[in-house]
Structure 1
Amino acid sequence: MKIDPRGQRFSAALATIVLLVVLATGSWPVLAAQAVVFAIGVFFGLRHHPYGLIYSRFVRPRLSPPGELEDEAPPRFAQGVGLGFALVGVAGYSLGIEWLGITATAFALGAAFLNAVFGFCLGCEMFLIIKRVSPKKKEVHA
């Protein structure tokens, strides 16, 4: 499936705001809610991602059509990376290991900020590197 890359930057901007709130408050329930948002993107696709739904309903209709579309797989993988950091952060905050919660949240924030401000999707780049270095499947001819 192809997606509008501007929607990913919009979603990253909203995630940046949420993650800043988490760092400012230390609220693991807010981080848990962000983890659910990431999980929806990973398991149900970016069409069902809550921030993507906001973008497609309220923002995209006010913009010109995108210059190009991109493959959904790399941003979906990036959502999985965000989910991983969010889950570690929730565990840290909820178990009283504050440094772990702060560190994991800060890593997720850094990645979201890079995408929101500069259009650089760190998780997407990880996906492409992993894909490049993974052994290729050999075709079996019957």
Structure 2
Amino acid sequence: MTATTTTAPTAASDSGLTYVDPRAPRFGQAITATVLTAGVVLAEPLFIYAIAAILGMALLSGWRLDLYGFSWRTVMIPLVGPPERREPAAPHRFAKLMGAGFTVLASALLLAGVPLAAYLLAGMVAVLAGVAATTGLCIGCRMYQQVSFFRRLGVV
């Protein structure tokens, strides 16, 4: 999500910080919530595996292979136009890291034969992603701010 173009950028670098179109994370959160909810309701592990793969691939590639970011830039920006403002990408990336961790854990639990725990974890991620997508209240982003606060105090 560090691509910068003159027509419709979704992120830009300034003073070492990366900024993102605030609509882009909500787009990804809406997809995550929808697919995970379908996976939990239908008891379909492939949906959980797919989200774990999408989030994990973005994380492991250093955000270069972010299917949500690519979709936002190539499909949605031409439809909705460039952003009016930007915000730091780090809190959203931390939230995506948390989502990736929990969906990968849910996938591992499914493969280990513990579907109840797996679907509970996937359902939790779906609810949090849905809340973030619809209200803008991103719990992972809030957690990032708290960790940053403690880091500034020298606690962590």
State whether TM-score is above 0.5: yes
Give the aligned residue type for 2:150: V
1:55 alignment counterpart: 72
Matches within 5 A, 1:41-120: 41-46=58-63, 48-120=65-137
1:22 to 22, 29, 39: 39
Aligned residue pair count: 137
SS at match of 1:65: coil
1:37 alignment counterpart: 54
Deviations 1:94-135 (A, max 9, x none): 222122111100111011101111111111111011110125
TM-score normalised by L of structure 2: 0.79
TM-score normalised by L of structure 1: 0.86
- Unaligned runs of 5+ residues in structure 2 are 1-17
Give the aligned residue type for 1:133: F
Query: Within 1, Cα distance between the matches of 2:47 and 2:35?
Result: 7
Give the aligned residue type for 1:41: A
Q: CA deviation at 1:46?
A: 4.3
Query: Given that residues 18 and 30 in structure 1 are in contact (C-alpha distance below 8 angstroms), is that contact kept between their aligned partners in structure 2?
Result: yes
1:140 alignment counterpart: none
Q: CA deviation at 1:38?
A: 0.9
- Unaligned runs of 5+ residues in structure 1 are 138-142
> Among the aligned pairs, what percent are the same residue?
26
Query: Within 1, Cα distance between the matches of 2:151 and 2:88?
Result: 19
Q: CA deviation at 1:66?
A: 1.6
Higher helix share: 1
Deviates more, 1:116-125 or 1:45-54: 45-54
